[in-house]
């Protein structure tokens, strides 16, 4: 069985030609899938019935099953667990910000990086997601929401730069006006910091944005929470970020998780200001939200305020992530981990 979201227009045209259909049918199918969010061939009512019958037998419109959906109480954030054959595969998150809806998608099933505060690390790594599986998470959220999402972030489970080709291919399709037509300026790839891949992305992103999960201000601290730091120490990661910001002319985002009595001191904030000096960046502070099974504690609100003020005094742009989706975002892989213990109904 072929998969619709793994096929481009040319592949669809070739498949349709096998049963004598004209190429324009491929455009009709793409419009149904990417702009009208159809989830079955039956919904594509302007295709002849005999063609729909053929497509039902040969091409799958949907490879991801929705296994669970979780909504953040009192806030507007939704988390979706997708699976195949009833088995959990990956998660996506839908977030409502002032500027519109953002879809956050996973690029890998599980994650090989193993950050010390991440539920995905506990699950372990299964495999890279295919291009179509990444695209379908985003389109699947549009289907469920019954509306278009304006922003895309590759910030779910997995390190996007370790599944680079499929991540970039998914981005290219979603940004192509012939498919979904998302502006590249509204797409962000979030990385834990792999300098050679950040440099490659600088050449390939063509206007898409970059976010770096830094979470520490020296190697001693970062080594304890991000195992990759042994291989790519903080100076090299920040240098690659600096180069990306300079060559792209774009403001980059630096994600910094505040963990109580670990990386939340005023001295950390001063070191962070010095590290990022001269880079056009926005630091996004994420006060850790406690998650069962993890040793980390939430920082005191006064420490968060102090951290923010030190950055501001040093002229570093900073925001503190409001609670929206905090439980969801702080623990990528959490839903999948819970579901591994408790199979979906």
| Residue ranges that bind ligand SF4, judged by CB under 6 A | 111, 113-115, 118, 120-121, 157-159, 192, 332
At its nearest, how many Å lie between ligand SF4 and the CB of residue 152?
17
Give, to the nearest 10 degrees, the angle between helix 164-175 and helix 131-145: 40
Q: Identify any residues that bridge with 128 across adjacent strands, giving them in sequence order.
A: 108
* Distances in whole angstroms, Cα of residue 43 to Cα of each of 11, 37, 88, 172, 318: 21, 10, 27, 26, 46
Q: How far is the CB of 158 from ligand SF4 (least distance, A)?
A: 6
**130 CB-contact burial (10 Å; exposed 0-12 / middle 13-18 / buried 19+):** middle
Longest CA–CA span in the chain (Å) reads 69
φ, ψ at 5 (rounded to 5°): -80, -5
Single out the catalytic residue among 91, 133, 136, 255: 91
Give helix 266-276 / helix 234-248 axis angle, nearest 10°: 50
**Phi, psi (rounded to 5 degrees) for 216:** -160, 165
For 100, how many CA atoms within 13 A lie in the half-sphere containing its CB? 10
Closer CB to ligand SF4, 163 or 273, in the complex: 163
Residues 13, 43: Cα–Cα separation, whole Å? 20
310 or 332: CB nearest ligand SF4: 332
Please say which residue, 29 or 252, places its beta carbon nearer to ligand SF4.
Answer: 252
Burial (Cβ within 10 Å: 0-12, 13-18, ≥19) of residue 335 = buried
| Residue 338 a catalytic site member | no
**Does the active-site annotation cover 332?**
yes
CB of 120 to ligand SF4, least distance (A): 4
User: Cβ 106 to ligand SF4, closest distance in Å?
Assistant: 8
User: Minimum distance from CB of 115 to ligand SF4 (Å)?
Assistant: 3
Pick the closer one to ligand SF4 by CB: 158 or 299.
Answer: 158
Q: For residues 95 and 332, which CB has a smaller minimum distance to ligand SF4 in the complex?
A: 332
Which sequence positions are flagged as catalytic? 91, 332
């Amino acid at each position: 069985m072929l998969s619709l979201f793994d096929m481009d227009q040319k592949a669809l045209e070739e498949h349709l030609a096998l049963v004598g259909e004209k190429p324009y049918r491929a455009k009709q199918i793409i419009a149904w899938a990417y702009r009208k969010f159809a989830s079955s061939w039956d919904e594509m009512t302007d295709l002849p019935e005999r063609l729909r019958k053929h497509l039902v037998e040969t091409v799958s419109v949907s490879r991801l099953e929705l296994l669970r959906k979780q909504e953040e109480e009192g806030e507007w954030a939704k988390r979706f667990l997708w699976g195949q054959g009833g088995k959990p595969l990956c998660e996506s998150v839908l977030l409502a910000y002032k500027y519109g809806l953002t879809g956050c998608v996973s690029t890998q099933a599980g994650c090989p990086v193993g950050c010390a505060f991440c539920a995905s690390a506990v699950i372990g790594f299964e495999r890279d997601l295919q291009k179509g599986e990444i695209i379908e998470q985003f389109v699947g959220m549009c289907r469920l929401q019954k509306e278009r999402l304006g922003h895309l972030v590759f910030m779910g489970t997995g390190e996007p730069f370790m599944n680079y080709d499929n991540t970039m291919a998914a981005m290219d399709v979603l940004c192509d006006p012939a498919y979904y037509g998302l502006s590249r300026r509204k797409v962000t790839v979030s990385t834990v910091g792999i300098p050679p891949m950040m440099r490659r992305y600088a050449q390939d992103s063509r206007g898409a944005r970059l976010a770096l999960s830094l979470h520490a201000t020296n190697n001693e601290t970062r080594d304890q929470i991000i195992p990759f730091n042994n291989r790519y120490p903080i100076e090299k990661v920040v240098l690659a970020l600096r180069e990306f910001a300079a060559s792209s002319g774009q403001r980059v985002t630096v994600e910094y998780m505040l963990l109580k009595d670990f990386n939340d001191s005023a001295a950390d904030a001063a070191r962070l200001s010095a590290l990022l000096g001269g880079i056009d960046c926005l630091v996004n502070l994420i006060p850790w939200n406690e998650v069962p099974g993890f040793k980390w504690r939430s920082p005191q609100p006064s420490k968060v305020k102090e951290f923010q003020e030190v950055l501001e005094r040093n002229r570093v742009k900073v925001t503190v992530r409001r609670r929206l989706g905090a439980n969801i975002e702080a623990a990528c892989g959490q839903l999948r981990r819970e579901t591994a213990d408790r199979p979906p109904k």
